[in-house]
Amino acid sequence: MGWKELNHQASKEAREGDPKKAEELWREALRELVQKGNSGREDSLLVYYNLFRHYLLLDDLKRAEKVGQQQLDVSLRVHGKLHGVTAKVHSGLGELYERQFKYEDALEHYRLALAAWEHSMGPEHIKTGELLHRMSLFACVTGLSKKLYLWHHC
Residue 151 shares a structural domain with residue 88? yes
> Looking at residues 2-31, what average pLDDT do you find?
95
Residue 52 shares a structural domain with residue 105? no
Quick: pLDDT tens for 53-71. 999 999 999 999 999 999 9
* pLDDT score for 23: 96
* pLDDT score for 149: 56
State the pLDDT confidence band at 146, using cuts at 50, 70 and 90. low
Residue 69 shares a structural domain with residue 85? no
| N residues, the chain | 154
Residues of the chain above pLDDT 70, percent? 92
* pLDDT score for 76: 96
Residue 42 shares a structural domain with residue 98? no
User: SS3 letters for the chain?
Assistant: CCHHHHHHHHHHHHHCCCHHHHHHHHHHHHHHHHHCCCCCCHHHHHHHHHHHHHHHHCCCHHHHHHHHHHHHHHHHHHHCCCCHHHHHHHHHHHHHHHHCCCHHHHHHHHHHHHHHHHHHHCCCCHHHHHHHHHHHHHHHHHCCHHHCCCHHHC
pTM for the complete prediction?
A: 0.86
- The CATH number given to whatever domain includes residue 35 is 1.25.40
Report whether pLDDT(120) > 70. yes
Residue 150 shares a structural domain with residue 88? yes
* pLDDT score for 152: 46
Quick: pLDDT tens for 72-85. 999 999 999 999 99
What does pLDDT average to over the chain? 89
> Looking at residues 101-116, what average pLDDT do you find?
92
Domain, as residue range, for 59: 1-73
> Looking at residues 89-104, what average pLDDT do you find?
94
Residues 6+ apart with CB under 8 A from 111: none
Count of domains in the chain? 2
Axis crossing angle, helix 84-99 with helix 103-121, rounded to the nearest 10: 160
